[in-house]
Amino acid sequence: AFGREPISGPVVAVHDGDTLRIGPHTVRLANIDAPELAQDGGQASRAALVNICAGQWARATVVDVDRYRRLVALVTCGQTDANRVMVAAGHAWVFSRYNRDVSLPGIEAQARAARAGLWAADGPVPPWVWRAGHRAAVVIGMRG
């Protein structure tokens, strides 16, 4: 999937703050991680991506395929760099484990300093920490 021409088409659905559908393709925004829908800030993050991308013509430059077979991509909706704007508006973290964009940590620092989006709350929980805790709770629940 990667190394080929970018995918382009209408954004037909937004799943959460870092996953959408461009035509038939499920696309995960590269370099970022947004709160899960059930997590604090998750609904606001999804709403932000809906505002940026829903109904827009999108272009996705695929950089990888994840373990769920989603295309991982840099996504432009209309003229807006969705990956970058989600971080700048405080609706997503830089996913440092996978980030390849050296400018994103500085953009996240500016959003934090401005207390934008999820940074308005004291001590927002990164989604990878939330998911790990949720998985642990499910496993404990299955044992008990």
Enzyme catalytic residues: 28, 36, 70
d(CA 111, CA 16) in angstroms, rounded, equals: 20
* Pure H helices in 14-126: 42-53, 82-88, 104-113
**In 2-126, which residue ranges form alpha helices assigned H by DSSP?**
42-53, 82-88, 104-113
Please tell me whether residue 109 adopts helix, strand or coil conformation: helix
What is the rounded CA–CA span in Å between residue 142 and residue 144? 6
Which among 16, 20, 35, 36 is positioned nearest to 73, based on CA atoms?
A: 20
Pairing of strands 71-77, 80-81: antiparallel
